[in-house]
Chains A and B, each alone.
Chain A
Amino acid sequence: MTSPAIETDGLSKQYGEVVALDALNMTVAQGEVYGFLGPNGAGKSTTINLLMDYIKPTSGTARVLGYDPWNDVVACHQRVGICPDRFETYESLSARRHLELVIDTKRADDDPRALLEHVGLADAIERPAGEFSQGMEQRLALAMSLVGEPDLLILDEPFTGLDPHGVALVRDVVEAESERGATVFFSSHVLGQVDLVCDRVGILYEGDLIVEGTLPALRDTCDLSSDATVEDIFMRLTDGSAHAGEMDT
């Protein structure tokens, strides 16, 4: 349990001239719930794409649960659960088939029905995912991420497209997984949800991690009162107005 869940050192990604992520140094300890926040286009998805080996870095290094995320993919992903952002499910396959794909590849012994019950989709277990609403697809992806009791759960924009029940579900799942001992790393541009679930937050802004810490510590840093929200902190740190319009609260 000595190595951090996530550790990046100078992690950068450039697309031609465009810097998507600029020398990110970040450490997420095992067992914590870390909210990775920032407006759209700040580099949150780029970071997760790098950590999941969806893309390769331009420079810098990273460790995920002690593994090199680009060369030890099999060992690393065996212990990671991912709920991606901007995905479609397999339209001709049932919810059960989706879970079986993950369960069998991870060689886990989870029961697909129990996982679907956990996310409120048990009724749809035999239905092809092509019939699902966006919220149902999101729930299915969440169930897939929980297979095999991962040590690290990565949720990319998990609140997107969910109704209030769905949002509450994600919060419950995060709490339960954290209680089990898992590390939870999630990204969000919806700042309103995160106060309730995070131990620590990092705020990414234009490819840079501008601040990181527990909410009380951040409030102190920013000289804000104890009822200040993540939004207040964000606005203070980015000088208020510039990108405030892009924030979806």
Chain B
Amino acid sequence: MSTRLFGESVQRVEDQRFLRGEGRYVDDVLVGTTGRDMLHAAVLRSPHAHARIVDIDVSGVLDLDGVHLVWTHDDLDGPMAEPLPLLIPHPSLTHGRTQYALAKDEVNYVGEAIAFVVADDRYVAEDAVGRIRVQYEFLPPVVGIAAARAAEHLVHDDVPGNVGARLEQENGDARAAIAAAPHTLSLDLTVERSASTPLEGRGTVARWDPDIGRLTVWTSTQTSTGVRAALAAKLGLDLGRVDVVTPDVGGGFGVKINHPWPEELLVPAAARLLGRVVKFTEDRREHFISSAHERGQVHHVEVGFDDEGRVLGLNVEFWHDHGAYTPYGLITPIVTSTQLLGPYKPGAYRVVFESLYTNTVMVTPYRGAGRPQGCFVMERTMDAIAAALGKDRTEVRAVNFIQPDEFPYDQGLIFQDGRELEYDSGDYPASLQRLKDLVGWDDFPKLREEMAREGRTVGIGLACYVEGTGVGPYEGAHVHIETSGKVKVATGLTTQGQGHATVFAQVVADVLGVPFEDVDVVTGDTRRMPYAVGTFASRSAVMSGSAVHLAALRAREKVLRIAADALEASEEDLEIVDGVVSVKGAPGSGASIDLRTVAVLSNPLRYAFDEASQAATQFSVGDPGKPPVAEDDEPGLEGRDFYSPQRSTYASGMHAVIVETDPETAEIKILKYAVVHDCGRLINPMIVEGQIQGGVAQGVGGALYERMAYDESGQLLNASFMDFLMPYVTEVPERIDIDHLETPSPLNPLGVKGAGEAGVIPSAAVFASAIEDAEGPSHPGLVITAMPISPSELFHLRQVHTEESR
């Protein structure tokens, strides 16, 4: 028997290429002789947060040597001149607005695209951008949630109160439950803006082939099929004339699921008009001010609970800053409002949010997509209850857990995909016990005392979350066994470093009984798999993993059918080992046929072209009295299938951290970080752990370093990696202790749940908990209500606390 690969920490097949600098990103496409005639685009972006455009003068540009094209909104027509699509409408999004590919009459954030230039190279293109003169009439900018709520000024004239959406959900009567509860608390909690900040920004290359009338677009996206559909619609092309290819992508983390970006339309349009290859590669400053941000929310919590800390009623109001436009609908605040509940079952729950316009970069999901905020709110609430009752924080959580025998558990709400928020499986008490063991929760008071004797201040915190993963509607896969015996797999969703080529090959190798090395996986190429959704919401393993599995099963069925015919055996008696089909229990001894030969037999050709096809002549398959390809069959050894689940599957996890806070400088140091993670069955534990480690690193950034610093005029003050403090390897824990719990999902054939976002979800919550705990002895009652937190801010909290306690 071949070794089963599912569950094995198979080394990533991608890494040799990446580590040797052989990755091919959008900026590498058509570089060299094939791209000799390539032109380069640059974009004039608004320097003002809110202004009417009175006049744009491009007269100084076209006489610049090397400039081929300059466009403003006036130059666009048809669908290109319409606003960009609102990708995910929602009945509650009563005032959704999207931007134009190039601003029409008004700009609503610093960075909004106004004019588009194509030139011989990016240098000339930027020179040209510098020559465009725009006359503005300034409007008052609305920056921050407080200003948006105050609505003294409006972002969009026709959106009263700056409110894009208001959505309320309730399960039970939360306000009545709180009123009747023995104890109540209220909390105000804030999470600041941050962003995905992938190391590779956005980028698009387009080539129009006039000979065959086809457009090929390479773009750094999380959804090639989405871009393709949008492009065809906007450019007025038949879908069949547009191919979108996603080469290697240097990180997405959510920002690249939004589409089409203005440049994703303008570059292909320019390539078609000019008959030249056109490239746009976003630079870092552009990424900060013209892609998307997330996380900025302000929350008010009312909670009623009993003597044990059991939550009887929970009422949460929050305000979501969605920036200037709403192309991605309400996904982020809906996720916060539903996933806030985590592993708990409050007696009654009400949540209401307002999604607000501000004159800042628009907001679309960033890894975690509203969950980090929800987790922060819920876990801060749990910590506050524990503090109020003088109970251990783990005990308060434990009494609120959904129990293992309560699954499937319906939270009585509607999730972001429009389906019921029904948890499929999980074991939260077991997770908590493992986490306590892993981090040394019960021994921590001893450590605290020891450290205190050395004059050191340490604290411990924990946070729990549940994550709906693998949202629909579907993914598909195509598996093709070639006459070389090699297996070609295509799935339509894209890859940004997750290791899809490894895990999907593991799944296929197991089903088909072929060596892992013989399986080759392609993602995100609409020429190979035109039906797909995209890579987001921790859905690839669940969705494409399942689809790949189903498609491989179909290919296997056909292999066995043909082989059974050729070997004159029964299908049930056959097995495939190392690419050879033979009768079970007698490999090597009885009759056998290898997959190469089966592949030849599947496609009844007239001509023998290699050894495998010559070998195939010794077998005869099919009924001589019938057509060579049966009516219900087709030539080729292929399988294609789709997976479309009824609802999401719910992964969960718990993190704990021990931090040290410096009594003098308020610096925050991570001493230990522990994770217990449950994403159902693990296809490749090493890849899951990599996802967790990357997520924790990103979470450390979000909790302790990263923020978007806007001034009141709407200028982003830290639009560079010098001032936007993405952590280095020196700032993230050297080691993360990880333990896995595997409660399989009953919803998909592999029993898997998503793992991509998990690591980042509890960060703000767990650090707030631990830092507050560390400060407890010296500043009893000091409460952390806003994240991220810097040493300077912790120092101020201490000062305020000391003054207040005087």
Q: Do A and B bind each other?
A: no
- B residues engaging A (CB < 8 A)? none
